[in-house]
């Protein structure tokens, strides 16, 4: 007889008892990464160590059949009315060509010259952050793959007509425009080393990502809710900075991308709304589990093949430092997003929770302030530290300040 509450991998008869190797931590921001170790994840998710598949320290298929049924309950009425309508018809979407000089025009070269003149005012630290964001967007195949690892929501055929599959494919199609326009615009500016960027993109897609979502849609949609808001913040700030540097077209590009990310954020937070309403304890435990593990940024495995060899430092960490220094995406933004989601999902107001979920609720409510205190202490230490510069292959190895 099937035992309810048992992870689906165990019920399939494919699980073998395995030791869980120590996981390698990925530093997102120094201030966030320096947080004290949290207690082990709640037992509702901690039992994944005994039940689900564990391979090379990666946990898979941790959702229970009961919670998989909750996810399935969203598919028809809720997803169709609350989430899928947030996709835009293709003829209502902007396209990269809307922002670029038409190559068929007789004055194409004149317009490219104007674009390059505008781009001359973009400083190297801006270019590094923009390119890092662009590389992140260009790794879109990884993100579609990640969504299709989630139990109960994946596109089983590649052209499935379920609302989940429709969302994943059309979300991917909308996101595909982002990397396209950013890449083409940077190519026309002549300000960046496109081959070094292309190597980084290929390496990143080849490396994949491990957001520690365990094929579990509860965890997966917590992750995507956080990430879409983070990308909205980052692109919104690159838009504002581009305007300050006098490139109105680039500002419109970044603003248009940020608008898409905001719409996608709403969709993913609505999915979690549905889970919180139907299973508040399960959703609370999942949210706390992801925050204890910390949100790993999707491009954390970026590698240009030379940065670490030349500097002895990690490329993603250095890119993140420039993003922090320029105010594009910061550790304070991380705390703000956390606080926003706590409010958005009414974490402090949820009642009728299990004892374990109530503990997760208390942890989540206090976490934003704890993160801010860590950030403030890290900022005080950084203010006394020596300024560090690093070359970036993306800008022809010019030196860019990290702090």
Write down the catalytic residue from 133, 137, 214, 265: 137
From 94, 149, 170, 306, active-site residue: 94
Say whether 213 is catalytic. Answer: no
**Residue 306 marked as a ligand binder:** no
394 catalytic, yes or no?
no
Which has the closest alpha carbon to 392: 306, 298, 324, 327? 306
The response to whether 340 counts as a known ligand-binding position is no
Catalytically annotated residue among 133, 151, 247, 260: 260
Query: Is 113 annotated in the active site?
Result: no
SS3 305: coil
354 as an active site residue: the answer is no
Catalytic residue among 168, 189, 213, 231: 231
CB-based contacts of 206, cutoff 8 Å, min separation 6: none
Under 8 Å between Cβ of 360 and 287: yes
- Catalytic, 151? Answer no
Burial class of residue 281 (count of CB atoms within 10 Å of its CB; 0-12, 13-18, 19+): buried
Question: Is 178 annotated as catalytic?
Answer: yes
Question: In 3D, which of 222, 223, 210, 281 has the Cα closest to residue 42?
Answer: 281
Tell whether residue 29 is among the known ligand binding residues. no
Q: Is 228 marked as binding a ligand?
A: yes
Known catalytic residue: 156? no
Stated as kind and residue range, the H or E segment containing 2 is none
Catalytic residue, candidates 61, 64, 155, 178: 178
Catalytic site residue from 151, 174, 214, 261: 261
User: In the 3-class helix/strand/coil scheme, how is 324-369 assigned residue by residue?
Assistant: HHCCCCCHHHHHHHHHHHHHHCCHHHCCCCCHHHHHHHHHHHHHHH
324 catalytic per annotation: no
Examine the residue annotation and report whether 241 is marked as an active-site residue of this protein: no
The alpha carbon of 21 is separated from its chain's Cα centroid by a whole number of angstroms, namely 25
Tokens of 339: 């606080």
Binding-site residues sit at 137, 175, 178, 228, 261, 264
Binding-site residues for Fe cation sit at 137, 175, 178, 228, 261, 264
Residues designated catalytic: 94, 137, 175, 178, 228, 231, 260-261, 264
């Amino acid at each position: 007889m099937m035992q309810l509450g048992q992870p689906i991998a165990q019920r399939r008869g494919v699980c073998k008892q395995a030791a869980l190797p120590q996981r390698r931590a990925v530093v997102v921001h120094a201030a966030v990464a320096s947080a004290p170790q949290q207690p082990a994840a709640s037992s509702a998710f901690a039992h994944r160590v005994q039940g689900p598949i564990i391979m090379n320290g990666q946990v898979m298929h941790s959702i229970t059949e009961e919670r998989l049924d909750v996810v399935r309950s969203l598919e028809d009425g809720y997803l169709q009315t609350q989430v899928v309508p947030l996709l835009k018809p293709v003829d209502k979407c902007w396209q990269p060509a809307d922002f670029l000089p038409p190559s068929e025009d007789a004055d194409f070269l004149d317009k490219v010259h104007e674009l390059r003149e505008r781009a001359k005012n973009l400083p190297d630290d801006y270019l590094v952050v923009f390119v890092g964001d662009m590389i992140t967007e260009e790794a879109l195949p990884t993100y579609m793959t990640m969504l299709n690892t989630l139990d109960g929501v994946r596109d089983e055929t590649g052209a499935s007509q379920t609302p989940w599959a429709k969302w994943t494919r059309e979300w991917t199609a909308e996101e595909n425009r982002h990397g396209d326009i950013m890449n083409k615009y940077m190519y026309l500016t002549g300000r960046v080393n496109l081959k070094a960027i292309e190597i980084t993109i290929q390496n990143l897609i080849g490396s994949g990502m491990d957001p520690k979502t365990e094929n579990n849609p509860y965890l997966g949609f917590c992750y995507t809710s956080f990430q879409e808001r983070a990308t909205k913040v980052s692109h919104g700030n690159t838009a504002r900075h581009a305007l300050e540097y006098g490139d109105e077209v680039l500002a419109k590009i970044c603003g248009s991308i940020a608008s898409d990310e905001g719409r996608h954020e709403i969709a993913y937070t609505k999915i979690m709304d549905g889970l919180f309403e139907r299973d508040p304890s399960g959703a609370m435990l999942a949210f706390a589990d992801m925050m204890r593990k910390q949100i790993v940024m999707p491009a954390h495995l970026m590698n240009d093949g030379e940065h670490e060899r030349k500097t002895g430092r990690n490329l993603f960490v250095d890119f993140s430092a420039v993003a922090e220094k320029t105010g594009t995406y910061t550790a304070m933004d991380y705390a703000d997003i956390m606080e926003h989601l706590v409010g958005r999902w009414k974490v402090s107001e949820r009642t009728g929770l299990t004892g374990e979920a109530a503990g997760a609720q208390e942890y989540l409510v206090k976490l934003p302030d704890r993160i801010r205190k860590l950030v403030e202490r890290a900022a005080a230490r950084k203010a006394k530290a020596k300024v560090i510069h690093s070359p970036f292959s993306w800008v022809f190895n010019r030196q860019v300040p990290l702090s």
